[in-house]
Amino acid sequence: MTNSFGAPGSDRRYAHIVGWGMYVPEKVLTNDDLAAFMETSDEWISSRTGIRERRIASDRETSAVLGLKAAQQALQVTDILPPDIDLIIVATSTPENIFPSTASIIQHWLGATNAGAFDLSAACTGFVYGMDMAAQAIRSGSINTALVIGTETMSRVLDWRDRGTSILFGDGAGAVILQTRAERGGVLSSVLRSDGAGFDMLGLPTRGSTEIRSADGLADRQLHKMYMAGGEVFKFATRVIGESVRQAVAKAGIKLEDVNVIIPHQANQRIIQAAARGLGLDADMFISNLERYGNTSAASIPIALAEALQNERIHPGDHIVLVGFGGGLAWGSVVVKWGLVQPDDSTAGKIREQRRRAGYAIVRIRTRLRQWLRRISETLNALFGAQHPDDH
């Protein structure tokens, strides 16, 4: 699927990024920490992947909790209140449940009372897919404001006995808010691709419509634990990044030389270097924070974007490319022309932030009250409730 939104002179609506945020858990797990309980070393991991440490969620930090914190930060840089959000898309491979969606839970916690919400499953490419879906909804005129979140608690689904996979991943969340603007810019193009023939190269089996035990070749895979054929994924990733970036850049009507910054999925520093070589670009153009967070799957691109903005790597008018790849197999790129968005630190902005915080507190109180009422009602039913039909 390809979309081109940026024809110069068109009177279309454009989907600009107007807010961004990230959140990573406090707990740091270093390569040396890993070497304390599995046969590996800091030298092996850092030389082969570029990763030195990753963050690990506490028991209370679920994917919804991390995603909520990233979303709240994204709202803080805008003049948007939660009820202004029309659509929430959560890209994740580690949702709270199969259903209800993680997106619905975050929608409730935010007090985004006018939003539709759904989870998107495209593994590490999920955030790029989500950006495209949100931009299309804005461009069509169907909505004005979308919140796109990538959030993961990969530490919960790793097989810690598999040293080839478990050393790569970490937990975290990133979010952006997309909103309609008249000036040309924002999401200019996207290229989304999939090749399900590689379904068994990496995955996370769970209870679903496939009977795991009888599925060809999956018999010895653990339910709810991730598996990966690292070498094959490596080759696939280095091949598709260049191809996908070139296609999205052409769709946007710009040249590779016009691109200022590339934000790749953070899987392996050697993959990023190979992609830079393949595209004939300076490796410095590629944002990398692998060293500190490892691979946070669908969260890696929005986290890297938020950090790039924090570090002033992106400027108004810049063309940036987000490129993702992973399970599916799925991959995709989005070209964004950065607008003139500035963080909202005005007095009015601060008042809106207070209103948002008050809204979050009200939702928390209302949720607690509802839980207590349910418990009281269950206790009363147990004591004095209607008799079971069998009792008659």
Instruction: List residues binding ligand ACO (CB under 6 A).
Output: 40, 44-45, 48-49, 123-124, 163-164, 167, 202, 228, 230-231, 233-234, 237, 267-268, 271, 295, 297, 326-327
Quick count: other Cβ atoms within 10 Å of Cβ 2? 15
Which C-beta is closer to ligand ACO: that of 71 or that of 330? 330
The burial of 80, by beta-carbon neighbours within 10 Å (0-12 exposed, 13-18 middle, 19 or more buried), is given as buried
Which 3 state secondary structure label does DSSP give 312?
coil
Give the nearest distance from C-beta 185 to ligand ACO in angstroms.
Answer: 29
Catalytic residue, chosen from 16, 124, 268, 319, is 124
Which of 173, 103, 186 lies closest to 144, judged by CA? Answer: 186
Instruction: Kindly give, in sequence order, each residue whose CB lies less than 8 Å from that of residue 363, ignoring residues fewer than 6 positions away.
Output: 108, 109, 110, 111
Which C-beta is closer to ligand ACO: that of 134 or that of 233? 233
Q: What gap in Å lies between CA 210 and CA 231, rounded to an integer?
A: 26
- Amino acid symbol at 201: M
Give the nearest distance from C-beta 267 to ligand ACO in angstroms.
Answer: 3
Name beta bridge partners: 330: 194, 326
Which C-beta is closer to ligand ACO: that of 73 or that of 238? 238
Which of 174, 134, 155 lies closest to 225, judged by CA? Answer: 155
Q: What gap in Å lies between CA 147 and CA 118, rounded to an integer?
A: 11
Catalytic residue, chosen from 16, 144, 295, 319, is 295
Could you give the C-alpha distances from 316 to 80, 301, 309, 320, 339, in angstroms and in order? 21, 19, 11, 11, 5
Locate 157 and state its tokens. 């689904």
DSSP H or E run through 45: helix 42-49
In contact, 96 and 117? CB cutoff 8 Å: no
Which of 211, 189, 204 lies closest to 131, judged by CA? Answer: 189
Q: What gap in Å lies between CA 355 and CA 357, rounded to an integer?
A: 5
**Strand order in 186-194's β-sheet?**
2-4, 186-194, 330-337, 319-326, 259-264
Q: Is 124 a catalytic residue?
A: yes
Helix axes 269-279, 42-49, angle to 10 degrees: 20
Helix then strand count (H, E) for the chain reads 11, 14
Give the nearest distance from C-beta 197 to ligand ACO in angstroms.
Answer: 16
Give the nearest distance from C-beta 127 to ligand ACO in angstroms.
Answer: 12
- Amino acid symbol at 155: S
Count of alpha carbons within 13 Å of 128, Cβ hemisphere only? Answer: 38
Catalytic residue, chosen from 16, 108, 265, 319, is 265
Quick count: other Cβ atoms within 10 Å of Cβ 104? 20
Q: Is 295 a catalytic residue?
A: yes
Give the nearest distance from C-beta 347 to ligand ACO in angstroms.
Answer: 43
Locate 45 and state its tokens. 């991991």
Q: Which residues are catalytic?
A: 124, 265, 295
